[in-house]
Amino acid sequence: MLWSKSCPKLLEGPSLQFVDAPGRVIEVPNPKPLDCRRIFECNVMTAPSESTIYWYKNNNIIHASVSRDLTLSSPYSDSTPGPVLGISEQRHRICLDSLLAAESNPTEIKCRVQSSCSPRMIVQSDPVVFKPQKELDNSFTRVNHYYKAPLITLISSSRLELAGNFVQLFCNAIGSPKPEISWRIIDNEDETLSHDIDLHPFIWELGNGNIIIDTTKTTEASLSLQCTAKNKFGDDVAHSSVILVDGN
C-alpha cells in the first residue's frame, strides 16, 4: 500500500472511525429484477480523505479498493502549501446477492478500513452472519450474471475542508454495462432544484467519475451535490455535501 504524503499537512492529524454501527444491511424495497437486493454498508469518518477498504467473506478477502485523493498530492497541494483538514465521511457499499446466492451454510461478511497514514490505524466491523437464502427465480439469476443495474459503491457523503483548498469528492459505481456517472449541484434556495455542474466552472469532472472543486473560485460556505450512476437497466443516486471552514 502507498502511504499518503499529505499526513504531515493535516491540521488536526490523521483519524479514522466508524460513523455509525458498522455492517449496516439494507434490504432494497421493491427491487427490479436487475437491482441489487441486499446491500452491506460501512461508513467511516477519515482524515485524510482517502483510505483502503477490505471486504471479507468467512474471513477471506473477497474485494479491496483504494480511494486516492488527488488534491493531497502535486500539483494541487503545491498550490495550497498550507495545512488541510482533509476530513471526509465515506460510505462504502457492497452487493450481497452474488456472495450469498449459492451458499448452503451461514455466511459471515465484514469490512475492514485502513488509513492511508498508518498501517496500524484500522477499524473493523464485527462479522454479520447471514443464513442460507432461498434461491431466486432462475431467470433472474441467469440474467443477473450478465447484466446488472448500477450500484454506487463509494460516495463522499460529506467533506470538511479549509476554504481556499481543493476538494475531491468520490462517486464510484458498478454495473453491467458500466454505468455512466454524472454530478449535479443542488440549488441553495430550493433543494428540489439542481443544476448541471458545467454551469459552475470551479467544479471539474475527472475521468473516473470523481470531481474536484476549486474552493478559491466560490464564495459559498457549503455546497450540496448529487451523484447519479446510470445504465440502460436503471440508476442509483447518492448525495454529497461540502462544508468550507474559514481558516483565519
The CATH number given to whatever domain includes residue 31 is: 2.60.40.10
Query: Structure pTM?
Result: 0.91
| pLDDT, position 144 | 59
Cis peptide before 75 (omega within 30 of 0): yes
> Where are the alpha helices (H) located in the chain, listed in sequence order?
76-79, 97-100, 138-146
Residue 135 reports pLDDT greater than 90: no
Mean pLDDT of the 7-21 span:
89
In a domain, 1, yes or no: no
Residue 191 CB-half CA count within 13 A: 4
In a domain, 2, yes or no: no
Mean pLDDT of the 117-144 span:
75
Q: Could you give phi then psi for residue 129, rounded to 5 degrees?
A: -95, 130
207-211 long-range Cβ contacts below 8 angstroms, 24+ apart: 208/172, 209/171, 209/172, 209/173, 209/181, 210/168, 210/169, 210/170, 210/171, 210/172, 211/168, 211/169, 211/171, 211/183
In a domain, 225, yes or no: yes
Residue 243 reports pLDDT greater than 90: yes
C-alpha cell at 59: 474471513
In a domain, 22, yes or no: yes
In a domain, 98, yes or no: yes
Give tens-digit pLDDT for 86-101.
999 999 999 999 898 8
Task: Report the domain count for the chain.
Answer: 1
Mean pLDDT of the 73-78 span:
66
Give tens-digit pLDDT for 219-238.
999 999 999 999 999 999 99
Please report which confidence band the pLDDT of residue 79 belongs to, taking 50, 70 and 90 as the band edges.
low
**Residues spanned by the domain of 183:** 7-245
| pLDDT, position 134 | 64
Residue 202 reports pLDDT greater than 50: yes
Residue with cell 450512476: 229
Q: Could you give the dihedral angle defined by the CA atoms of residues 95, 35, 184 and 15, in that order, rounded to the nearest 10 degrees?
A: -10
Q: Which of 67-71, 137-141, 165-169 has the lowest mean pLDDT?
A: 137-141
Mean pLDDT of the 141-155 span:
81
In a domain, 122, yes or no: yes
Q: Which of 6-15, 19-28, 186-195 has the lowest mean pLDDT?
A: 6-15
